Structure 1
Amino acid sequence: MDAVTADWVTFRSGDTEIRGYLALPTLGAERPPAVIMVHENLGVIPHRQRVTEQLAAEGYAVLTVDLFSRIGGRPPQDYTTQEERRAKAFLAARDEQAIPDLDAALDYLAARADVDADRAAVVGFCLGGGLAIVWATQSDRLSCAIPLYGIPELPAAYSPTGAVRSRIDIADRVRCPIQAHFGGADAVIPLDQVARLTEALGRSSHPTDVHVYEGAGHAYHDDTHPNHRPEAARLTWERTLGFLRDHL
């Protein structure tokens, strides 16, 4: 993509070296705003790298953090079923570890002379969508957060506590504007959870914009996934770009 430069970078999170895929625009502002992108449970796959570049081409410095850096850059591979695979991926990127990694990624961008990290957003997908909500409840550094099909209530098997981990219970504590996107036919996320999350976000003191796309399943934005829905993906992207423009 001629409009961006992209490569892997590393930074420290505590005592650990974390890697991330960084894409920078080659045209436009000398110090573009920062976007931390948070991947789904598959990790920083080629599709996620491409979306990182696509967003950078819109004029943002985009860093997708590899939350599986500590285990070789891939989610756990010792599974026998797809449900076990997903559960182990979520546990490997649990909130207590992932949120400090996202903070460290923003620190890395803030230390660069070519990025304006005082204007910062988070965009997350699936696993990363839930983390985007959690981070937005804990940080005052974000100008906005955009979760895509983030799971409002993590099943007990996905949680390090062995109990359901709810993003709904904390959603009214978000510290920045939120735009959330969900599929209306998502087999992973029941619509009642979306409704309760929307209500909780509405109790915060910040603008909330929640969209549900009729007929779209989980991961509908991913054009390499069987659930891809082009029209829902297009609308989501347009709304995401508009929200970023409004708040960055």
Structure 2
Amino acid sequence: MSKLTRREFMAIGSLTAGFAIAVQPISAKTVTTDPRGLTFGEVKISTSKGLIPAFRAMPNAGKNFPVILVIQEIFGVHAYIQDVCMRLAKLGYLAIAPEMFYRQGDVSQLTDITEIRKVVSKVPDAQVMSDLDATVAWAAKFSKGNIDKLGITGFCWGGRITWLYAAHNPKVKAGVAWYGRLVGESTPLTPKHPVDIASSLRVPVLGLYGGKDTGIPLDTVEQMRDRLKGCSQNSEIIVYPEAPHAFHADYRPSYRQADAEDAWQKMQDWFKKNGV
């Protein structure tokens, strides 16, 4: 067995145990899932560039669990994203949230949103796609995952990645993108955005968006809807008229409980409908 590099060693036990510092104070409405009946915690994923940490949750009993990739916001794999994995595990899934920014920096320890965005801006889409491929392979080999029933869901930054990974990996059965950015400038690190891949998308994706989201204008949502009309599958976008950005983030003031619970149920229905 080869020796771990110091960077790889530090990947073990490196996920934050609580919430990202930048989003303090935490809302009293935060959801905490009962861990009984679950196996959960940090694992390490072997990728083409070394080890990265991830949070994994699944039922204690059983095997061949359908797999859902959970993609983080810009704040990293902190307590909220970890609890989303726990909620999915309660539904019978193997849910895994790999730390997508690990090589670029630990955003959970930053207090300034501007500094967080600097880290996130350095993350190449190609790296993310490769790391997610490695996570899928890990799920099948080491964690009783059935990757013939593979889904993906992501929030904010992870919503955009959900659209892109559904286009990247045709083995994905379904995706659910929560208020992910749809348009943007083409750069060497982010060459394409969801509107660019929409017409060729072969995986059904459900988009969940807020009508009061100041960061994702409704005209871009309509642009995405128009592009999806050329697809060979049935993707769908739902807009909650009064919801702001991050309306599912129960630890933040943006949380809208009724819309969040309705959208969560629609996500479950979408996965079941499409074989996840």
Same fold, judged at TM 0.5 (above): yes
**Does the aligned pair in 1 maintain the 2:44–2:51 contact within 8 Å?**
yes
1:234 aligns with 261
1:178·1:208 contact (CA, 8 Å) conserved in 2? yes
Partner of 1:183: 210
Indicate which of 139, 142, 153 corresponds to 1:123.
153
Q: Who is 1:51 aligned against?
A: 84
Say yes or no: does 1:15 pair with 2:56.
Answer: no
Mapping of residues 127-138 of structure 1, within 5 Å: 127-138=157-168
Which residue, 207, 215, 221 being the options, matches 2:242? 215
- Aligned partner of 2:75: which letter? L
TM-score by length of 1: 0.90
Letter of the 1:32 counterpart: F
Contact 1:67–1:73 at 8 Å: present in 2 too? Answer: no
Match of 1:196 in 2: 223
Structure 1 portions without partners, runs of 5+ = none
For residues 1-248 of structure 1, the aligned pairs below 5 Å read 1-27=35-61, 29-74=62-107, 77=110, 82=113, 84-85=114-115, 87-112=117-142, 114-154=144-184, 156=185, 160-161=187-188, 166-247=193-274, 248=276
What RMSD in Å do the two structures reach over aligned CA positions? Answer: 2.1
Counterpart residue identity of residue 173, structure 2: S
Deviation of 1:200 after TM superposition, in Å, equals 1.2
* SS of structure 2 residue aligned to 1:153: coil
The alignment's TM-score, normalised by the length of structure 2, stands at 0.81
Query: Aligned in 2, Cα 1:213/1:222: closer, same or farther, shift over 3 Å?
Result: same
Cα shift readout 1:187-245 (whole Å, capped 9, x = no counterpart)? 11000000111111221111112110011111100111111111110111000011111
CA deviation profile, 1:107-166 (whole Å, cap 9, x unmatched)? 101213621111101101111110111111111110011110010013x5xx64499853
Amino acid aligned to 1:112: F
User: 1:16-62 CA distances to partner (integer Å, 9 max, x unpaired)?
Assistant: 211110001135x5221000110010001111111110111101000
Cα distance, 1:73–1:188 mapped onto 2, change above 3 Å? same
Identify if the C-alpha distance between structure 1 residues 21 and 73 changes in structure 2 by more than 3 Å, giving closer, same or farther: farther
Tell whether the 8 Å contact from 1:91 to 1:160 is kept in structure 2 after alignment. Answer: no
Aligned equivalents of 1:25 and 1:163: distance in 2?
Answer: 36
CA distance in 1, matches of 2:148, 2:101: 26
| Contact map agreement 1:68 1:75 (CA 8 A) in 2 | no
Native 8 Å contact 1:76 1:85 kept in 2: no
Contact 1:182–1:212 (CA under 8 A) maintained in structure 2: yes
Alignment check: 8 A CA contact 1:172 1:203 kept: yes
- Letter of the aligned partner of 1:94 in structure 2? P
Cα distance in 1 for residues equivalent to 2:117 and 2:130: 21
Q: Any idea what SS the aligned residue of 1:24 has? A: strand
Deviation per CA, 1:164-192, whole angstroms, max 9, x where unpaired? 85321211222211111000100110000
Give runs of ≥4 in structure 1 deviating > 4 Å.
Answer: 162-165
- How far apart in 2 are the matches of 1:87 and 1:237? 27
Over 3 Å counting, the alpha-carbon distance change for 1:30 and 1:195 in structure 2 is same
- 57 and 163 in structure 1: CA distance in 2 versus 1, 3 angstrom threshold: closer
Q: How many residues align?
A: 241
Structure with the greater alpha carbon radius of gyration: 2
Counterpart of 2:121 in 1: which secondary structure?
helix
Task: Give me the identity figure in percent.
Answer: 26
- Matched to 2:265, the amino acid is E
Separation in structure 2 between the aligned mates of residue 92 and residue 43 of structure 1, nearest angstrom: 14
